[in-house]
Structure 1
Amino acid sequence: MKKSIFVASLFAAAVFCGSLVYAEDSEMKTENDYATIQLSNGLKIPQFGLGTYGSSEQQAHDAVLEALKDGYRHIDTAHAYRNERGIAKAIKESGIPRSEIWITSKLWPTDYNEGNGAQSIDMMLERLGTDYVDLVYLHQPVGDYMAGYRALEEAVRQGKVRAIGLSNFDLNEKVFEEVYEKAEIKPVIVQIELNPYAQRVEFRKKCAEKNLPVEGWFPLGGSGKGNETLFADETIKSLAKKYGKSPAQIILRWHVQEGFSTIPGARNPAYIAENIAVYGFSLSDDDMKTMRALNKERRFYNGTWESAQRFKDMKINY
């Protein structure tokens, strides 16, 4: 049965580099007023979003339309997902003003090469049915990543992109440092695999030093074994019983309280509603420590920078 969303009515959240600070809010909150994360360029990204990796165009359309009804205002996609048109259709059908929805997409390595970036960004805008994208990540730290980054910087200057991020650049920290140092318009957020078993503590420290918030993909471990492993964890199951919540909600509440942006993927309407219903309760300080103690720095997707080299020439046919 679809679970109702308990709306946070007492708090406005300010998030800085993985730590979440709450302040009382004198006004009642609406279901659209979930926590946001302050970015270094002045923008605020909705902390909780819907991931669409692995969804077809139709599946993404249906999931996004459902998510927007449930109060989501942050949608994550990518050129490589090949579902941007379905997302554009859902946003249009929702009737929600474009200005109220945060759209994130990603530039694929074969789009990085000098001359390709600008055209690829324009094609992205066309597929998404919008004249700007709120955030665009470089998707992988391979290929001519600096040319891709320069294209994104120019798109920011032209108003086509509002913010730049780096996705999966934890695969090569030397490349991560290079892009950050050479950037004329600094990245404002980093996206990495992040979950209770892979809390990425050391890399998050490097991000914090640069005032870079972290957004986690596979926050529930991803589909298949990762998801099953986390949901079967005895500590997480015990906390779920204690709070009267599902294991997924305990995990996602941990993400929220740690100050991460999180983008769990879901297509089942019940799961879409369940996932975002994490603003009506809090884990105690002791239980947050218990969750942190689960860290094994064990990723469920074991890609490496070397294995990612195959993406340099992997063209995406949209």
Structure 2
Amino acid sequence: MTAVPTVKLNDGYEIPQLGFGVWQVPAEQAEEVVAKALEVGYRHIDTAAIYGNEEGVGTAIAKSGIPREELYITTKLWVSDFKAGTTREALRTSLEKLGLEYVDLYLIHWPSPNDEKYLEAWKALEELKEEGLTRSIGVSNFLPEHLDKVAEVGSVTPAVNQIEIHPLLQQRDVQASNEKYGIATQAWSPLAQGQVFDEEPVKAAAQAHGVNPAQVVIRWHLQQGRILFPKSVTPERIASNFDVFGFALTDEELSAIDALERDGRIGANPAEFNPAG
């Protein structure tokens, strides 16, 4: 089986650099697609409470027969739970749905910065880590100013900051802030939902290496040290997204893809996104 490289986190744990995401995977499809991903060789699965598919992920894990210690499972705390002060209950609910005694990584899904309740949530995550309900704790969609405030109040540094990154939105200021604190950068929507596939540097690299554009973009992330988890419900694409370890992009190809940077944001802007709690 293909050996996926790992990234060592600031708490000493290691995370597979390439994983499988289930954002927008319908609950009724989650078991099937996660089972396929595990069959292909993925061992890192990223889900979230708000996705509504943790039970399907858990069923696929249970049926796979893969030893727990070989899997890396991430889920996330939704805003309504940290604003209501029900962080512990939220994680226990996620664990029950996943059929697990612990997750490898638990993230605050969005800062929702208007009232800074995320700072209280961070302290709660520190307690959950101490209790062993999650091995690592981190954040998602946090901007430098949010990371600075967590650093002021927290006794544990986030292991991961999961943010939207793809060639059209590289968030270099956030990546630099992550690096300053020793926080690993994870990319969500790493393929820009396919919007980058027709860009000339991506097409040229795909042709040069005899691969598809998605594989080129995945290599771009991997070679720059980011953790990512492309999502697909198509068996062929699930497999091809994992088949990315037989070639490497040149420095020139990496630079050409870097140059595609523009404000190509697909998701919400964390500075302005304040869902109801």
Q: Deviations over 1:238-259 (max 9, x none)?
A: 1111110000000111011011
The residue type equivalent to 1:149 in the other structure is W
Q: Deviations over 1:136-180 (max 9, x none)?
A: 11001125212221221111111001111110112xx32221012
Is 1:145 equivalent to 2:115 in the alignment?
no
Equivalent-residue separation in structure 2 for 1:168 and 1:304 (angstroms): 6
Is 1:136 equivalent to 2:100 in the alignment?
no
Any unmatched runs of 5+ in structure 1?
1-29, 314-318
Which residue of 2 is the match for residue 77 of structure 1? 47
Query: Offset of 1:67 from its aligned partner?
Result: 0.4
Which residue of 2 is the match for residue 243 of structure 1? 209
Which residue of 1 is the match for residue 138 of structure 2? 165
Q: Deviations over 1:86-121 (max 9, x none)?
A: 000000111101111100000001111464111111
Contact 2:201 2:253 in 1 (8 A): no
CA pair 101-303 structure 1, distance change in 2 beyond 3 A: same
Which residue of 1 is the match for residue 79 of structure 2? 109
Contact 2:157 2:183 in 1 (8 A): no
Is 1:185 equivalent to 2:156 in the alignment?
yes
The residue type equivalent to 2:160 in the other structure is I
Equivalent-residue separation in structure 1 for 2:151 and 2:78 (angstroms): 18
Contact 1:112 1:149 in 2 (8 A): no
Q: Which segment is superposed worse, 193-202 or 285-294?
A: 285-294
What is the TM-score of this pair, normalised by structure 2?
0.95
Equivalent-residue separation in structure 2 for 1:146 and 1:118 (angstroms): 15
CA pair 304-156 structure 1, distance change in 2 beyond 3 A: closer
User: 2:90 is matched with which residue: 95, 120, 127?
Assistant: 120
The residue type equivalent to 1:57 in the other structure is A
Which residue of 2 is the match for residue 63 of structure 1? 33
Query: How do 1:297-308 and structure 2 match up within 5 A?
Result: 297-306=263-272, 308=273
Is 1:204 equivalent to 2:175 in the alignment?
yes
Equivalent-residue separation in structure 2 for 1:153 and 1:54 (angstroms): 29
Equivalent-residue separation in structure 1 for 2:150 and 2:89 (angstroms): 21
Give the match's secondary structure for 1:135.
strand
Give the match's secondary structure for 1:126.
helix
The residue type equivalent to 2:211 in the other structure is K
Give the match's secondary structure for 1:273.
helix
Q: Deviations over 1:195-251 (max 9, x none)?
A: 0111111221111111111000011102xxxx1x31111221111111100000001
Equivalent-residue separation in structure 2 for 1:276 and 1:288 (angstroms): 19
Equivalent-residue separation in structure 1 for 2:269 and 2:173 (angstroms): 18
The residue type equivalent to 1:66 in the other structure is K
Contact 1:200 1:297 in 2 (8 A): no
Equivalent-residue separation in structure 1 for 2:57 and 2:19 (angstroms): 13
What is the TM-score of this pair, normalised by structure 1?
0.83
Q: Which segment is superposed worse, 275-284 or 145-154?
A: 145-154
Give the match's secondary structure for 1:216.
strand
List structure 1 segments (4+ residues) > 2 angstroms apart after TM superposition: 173-176, 300-306
Contact 1:37 1:44 in 2 (8 A): yes
Is 1:97 equivalent to 2:67 in the alignment?
yes
Q: Deviations over 1:25-68 (max 9, x none)?
A: xxxxx42x210011010000000011100012221111110000
Equivalent-residue separation in structure 2 for 1:38 and 1:49 (angstroms): 15
Query: Offset of 1:276 from its aligned partner?
Result: 1.0
User: 2:189 is matched with which residue: 207, 218, 235?
Assistant: 218
Any unmatched runs of 5+ in structure 2?
none
Equivalent-residue separation in structure 2 for 1:215 and 1:73 (angstroms): 16
The residue type equivalent to 1:203 in the other structure is V
The residue type equivalent to 2:184 in the other structure is P
Which residue of 1 is the match for residue 237 of structure 2? 271
Equivalent-residue separation in structure 1 for 2:92 and 2:50 (angstroms): 15
Q: Which segment is superposed worse, 80-89 or 196-205?
A: 196-205
Equivalent-residue separation in structure 2 for 1:101 and 1:181 (angstroms): 33
Is 1:155 equivalent to 2:128 in the alignment?
yes
The residue type equivalent to 1:169 in the other structure is F
Contact 2:8 2:14 in 1 (8 A): yes
Equivalent-residue separation in structure 1 for 2:136 and 2:173 (angstroms): 25
Equivalent-residue separation in structure 1 for 2:151 and 2:24 (angstroms): 29
Q: Which segment is superposed worse, 141-150 or 229-238?
A: 141-150
